[in-house]
Structures are given as C-alpha cells and as structure tokens.
Amino acid sequence: MSGRKRKTKTMIIVPEKEIAGLLTRADAFEAVEKVFASMSKGSAYNFPVIREAIGYEDALYGFKGGFDKAGMALGLKAGGYWPNNLEKHGEINHQSTVFLFDPDTGKVKAMVGGNLLTALRTAAASSVSIKHLARKDAKVMGMVGAGHQATFQLRAALEQRDFEKVIGWNYHPEMLPNIERVANEAGLPFEAVPLEGLAEADVVISITSTFAPTIMADHIAPGTHIACMGTDTKGKQEVEASLLARATVFTDEVAQSISIGEAQHAIASGLIEQSDVHELGAVINGTHPGRTSADEITLFDGTGVGLQDLAVASSIVDLAVEKGVATIVDF
C-alpha cells in the first residue's frame, strides 16, 4: 500500500424519508449562496443539462451534473417532472435522486433522495436572490404559482425581508389555499389578486409549469424584484419576454438561462443579448453592483443548477452518517 491512499470501499444511501431531519432552510441557503459564489469565481462548473420529453406520461426527464473542485463534489441529479403523478399515484410531480462520485477515482460514493432537497435548494436560490437584489424596504410579497414548490419558495422568501402581506395568483385558483396557509403560518394576511394586482408587490416569485407567459411586463411595477423559478426547460415561459428588456437580469448560470431559462425567449427575439444576463454569484462576490436604484426592476432567472444539488447532498451525506440514519453498503 506504500504511496497509495486507501480509497472509499462503501456506498452511502440516504433515503428520501431521512432528508427532512437532516437539512434546514438555513443550511440549504448557506450551501447555495456559497456555490453560486464559487461558480462565479470559476472554481465550480456545471455540465450541460440533458432534459428530454420521454414521450410517456408527459414526463420530462434528465440529468444535471457538475464538479466543484473547491468542495470536491462530483456527481449528478437524475430526475424530472411527471405532471400526472399526484392525481394518478399520490406522488409529487417532481421526482429526483442525487448520485455523488469520488473525484479521485470515479467510484460512486453516495445516493441521496432528491425530492425535498430540490425543493429546499430551489427555494434557497430565490431567497439568495431576494437577499441580494430586493429593496430593503420590501413589504408586499407576491406569488404566482401554488403547487408543490410554491410553498417552499414562499416560506423561505418570507425570511428575507419584513413582509407585511402576501398576495397571490394561480392558474388553478383552487390551489391558492396552499400558499395562503404558509402566509398565515408566518402571521401574515393573504389576498388572492388578479394578475394586474401584482403591481402592488415589492417582490414576486413565479414558480409554475407553464409554456405560455402569464406575467406581462406591465404587471410588474418599477422597483420590484422578480424571481422566475419555473422555467427550467426549452419552451417553458412564465413572463413576457419584454419584461427582461425592462429589467436588470441575473441568473444562477448564464449558459442555462439563455438556453433553458426565462432568458431563452428574450434572446431568441433579439430583445436582450447574452451580455445582458449577469451571474447572481458576481453580486454575492461583490464584482457586480446588483440593484443600483429604488425603481429598477431586478429579475432573477433561476434555472436550477446541478451544483446546487451536489452542494446540499454532500452536506446531507456527512450528517446522515454522523446521525446514524444512512445505509452503508460495502462494495
């Protein structure tokens, strides 16, 4: 063995049911803020995303991977969106699993349930954008979307500013009680509004699965920060493309924003250029000023990057072993 390091001979499995007891919103926020900063410094990068309509169950399935050299996290998240799950199988529509590999040998290290992890890391991303881009005096929180992710998004967002009220619109109005409950749990009143009513919001999060824009440019007032979190696939679109031309646009990753994110449409129609899309990581690192005036619209195009998943999954694996809730399998 001289001169050779003994390498991992086990695979660690952390099942979905254990994630809730392992990852807090604060942990997810910290991991995501850190990895956005690393991406912007060039010490971590994402691989091109594979995302396919598989021609069965209307499902979109794919892989998001990356390598964070600083955190030594290598791996991928496999999964996607099954729109009929809830109705047909009583399962949530978003299903995924994270696989981590040993960067020294390529051997598989861990398999981690990715569903709750996805919701927490996605909510952390919009929260990080609110922390760095929303006006400090934001009081009215606006939600577009009331599905599975929306509740996590709202819960995390409300921790970022002293909000006094939540307003919301959803394509399926019968789902609005999902977000009303979260607002009320935080001690805030909730009001269902028409899309035009969003002009009252200081911060808006959109998290829907639509392929046709529902939020028009004139629904959003000057000074608003909007986090567009639903568009993570070619063809999806939540906001009118001209809103991106009116806003200062930030994203988790520029390559994803212009190909599978909200910016794909504004770029395709020539309304903005790639150089108009800025990394949120640059704002975190202080190399981009972020919001520069009180009436500027800031827009975060949150496409969801593999490195977010790897960052939170890595921290979960260590904790799961420490707490004795991981299954350790010998090779």
**49-59: burial string, b at 16+ Cβ within 10 Å, e else:** beeeeeeeeeb
- Measure the CA–CA gap between 249 and 275, rounded to whole angstroms: 10
Give the 3-state secondary structure of residue 135: coil
Nearest to ligand NAD of 124, 247 (CB atom): 124
Contact characters 136-155, ligand NAD, x per CB under 6 A: ---------xxxxxx-----
Q: Which is nearer to ligand NAD, 164 or 211 (CB)?
A: 211
Site mask, ligand NAD, residues 166-195, x = CB under 6 A? ----xxx--x--------------------
Is residue 77 annotated as a catalytic residue, yes or no? yes
Task: Decide if residue 230 touches ligand NAD (CB under 6 A).
Answer: yes
In the set 38, 46, 93, 298, which binds ligand NAD (CB under 6 A)? 93
| Shortest CB 212 distance to ligand NAD, Å | 7
Interface with ligand NAD includes 118 (CB under 6 A)?
yes
Tell me which of 38, 40, 208, 298 binds ligand NAD, using CB under 6 A: 208
Contact 262, 253 (CB under 8 A): no
Helix (H) or strand (E) holding 11, with range, is: strand 10-14
- Please state, in angstroms and rounded to a whole number, the distance separating the CA atoms of residues 324 and 12: 11
Asked whether 234 and 205 are in contact (CB, 8 A), the reply is no
Query: Is there a contact between 301 and 263 (Cβ–Cβ < 8 Å)?
Result: yes
d(CA 111, CA 315): 13
Residue 97 binds ligand NAD (CB under 6 A): no
Can you tell me which of 23, 29, 36, 94 binds ligand NAD, judged by CB under 6 A? Answer: 94
Choices 30-38, 68-76, 227-235, 270-278; region in contact with ligand NAD by CB under 6 A = 227-235
The size of the chain, in residues, is 331
Evaluate whether 273 touches 299 at the Cβ level (below 8 Å): no
Cα 319 off chain centre by: 22
Q: Which of 8, 115, 210, 242 binds ligand NAD (CB under 6 A)?
A: 210
CB of 328 to ligand NAD, least distance (A): 29
Task: Give the DSSP letter of residue 293.
Answer: S
Q: Kindly state whether residue 232 participates in binding ligand NAD, applying the rule CB under 6 A.
A: yes
Residues with a known catalytic role: 77
Binding residues vs ligand NAD (CB under 6 A) = 81, 93-94, 118, 122, 145-150, 170-172, 175, 207-210, 214, 229-230, 232, 302-304
